[in-house]
Amino acid sequence: MKTYTSSAEHFVLITGASRGIGRACALLFARMGWHIFLNCRRSFLELQEVEKKIQSETPGSCTILPGDVGNPEDVRQIFDAIYQICPCLDVLINNAGIAHIGLLTDMTDQQWQDIINTNLSSVFYCCRSAVPPMITRKQGRIINISSMWGTSGASCEAAYSASKSGVHGLTRALAKELAPSNIQVNAVACGVIDTAMNSQLDARERQALEEDIPSGRFGRPEEVARLVWDLSQAPDYLTGQIIGIDGGYI
């Protein structure tokens, strides 16, 4: 396997980096001069566009590492490639996620499993591979992108809510496990963010939802990215937290 090198001093893996929150995070960290490991499962052309933007418009650098982070073998291959470039990640951003809207009784076994694998199991698989070098170095940050529905639950989104609630529990438990090694684990519980995940809403549904949000609008991916960046630079004592960014919705 080919060995790569990078002159960057800081390294971050962002899963689901081809669009929305993941893309915004990748561009922000690249503007700060970091090396970004860009991952997605299917949107490879969009991921290449992010790569081009990083290379042409930022002082950062990047490596594309496609793969399904809900599959443990893909995750092993992704991290094998990462550790040829750097000995340890500084930050892991678990952002990959999918949604499903519909009645629980109408869900198939496969739809349920896809949600759990992509939204929850991926966090476990990536953390399992990222943590050992962090422990050796006694330094590292894990930031899990979650949802306010992981706290309150959403009608007709039972599987999604369950997966995000699992992310919250995993975040809190892993933070306690890794605190003695000076590794911080936090989650960002997003409200309604203006991404492709919410593109299925028609104009009337969108307006009704905006009226329910105290801030009167959807959040922007760049706003979430700024919070993620702040968490990557936060005091070491901040760990095990589920931090909401929802315009006052919850």
Q: Which two tokens stand for residue 131?
A: 């943590």
Active site residue 160: yes
Q: Which candidate in 4, 160, 237, 249 is catalytic? A: 160
Q: Strands, E, within 47-152: which ranges?
A: 61-64, 91-94, 140-147
SS3 content of the chain, % helix, strand, coil (to 5): 50, 15, 35
**Residues 30-42, buried b or exposed e (16+ Cβ, 10 A)?**
beeebbbbbbbbe
Residue closest to 78 by CA, chosen among 161, 124, 13, 163: 13
The answer to whether 118 touches 179, Cβ cutoff 8 Å, is: no
Which residues are part of the catalytic machinery?
Answer: 160
